[in-house]
């Protein structure tokens, strides 16, 4: 078992677990998370979302971003200047569409989340640009889901 710096089990789900988790998603979420798609700008539910809490992977529930790191980039996609923990997000070189970008994926289930750019605000200078359907949201103080049955700290509030 591989644990993250925050104590989360980063062991990848089995192919059957991925299939079971994906079955609860709508076709658009499956296209983006599993087939590396992109949702159109200014249409995602989290672009203008202001509540405090934790953004998690919409497939495997791994915590990805804290709402305090969210900012309005004007890009049309939810943007964050840092992840909740460096080992919860993987960076992959993306040379598709005639560009060179850095794709970001969930470190546990390898789902496509979006891209990271070096035009963000201080303190990091980074802009993690996310597809809304790649994430779900857990309000501050609420327990995190534990669909994989991994146990604590999953099923508990962040910091709890």
| Three-state secondary-structure class, residue 60 | coil
Place of tokens 């305090």: 68
Contact 97, 115 (CB under 8 A): no
109 is catalytic: no
Q: Hey, what are 155's tokens? A: 């099923």
Q: Hey, what are 24's tokens? A: 């609860």
Give the torsion sign (CA, 11, 16, 21, 27).
Answer: positive
Calpha distance 113→106 (Å, rounded): 7
89: phi > 0 → left, psi -120 to 50 → alpha, else beta; which?
beta
| Three-state secondary-structure class, residue 43 | coil
Which residues form the catalytic set?
129
């Amino acid at each position: 078992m591989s644990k993250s710096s925050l104590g989360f089990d980063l062991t990848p789900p089995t192919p059957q677990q991925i299939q079971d988790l994906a079955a609860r998603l709508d076709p658009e979420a499956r296209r983006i998370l599993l087939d590396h798609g992109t949702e159109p700008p200014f249409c995602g539910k989290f672009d203008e979302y202001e509540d405090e809490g934790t953004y998690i992977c919409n497939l495997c529930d791994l915590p990805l971003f804290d709402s305090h790191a969210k900012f309005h980039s004007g890009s049309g996609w939810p943007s964050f200047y840092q992840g909740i923990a460096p080992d919860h997000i993987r960076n992959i070189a993306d040379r598709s569409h005639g560009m060179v970008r850095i794709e970001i994926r969930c470190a546990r289930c390898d789902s496509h989340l979006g891209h990271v750019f070096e035009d963000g605000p201080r303190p990091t200078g980074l802009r993690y640009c996310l597809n809304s359907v790649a994430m779900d949201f857990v309000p501050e103080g609420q327990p995190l889901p534990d669909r994989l049955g991994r146990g604590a700290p999953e099923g508990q509030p962040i910091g709890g």
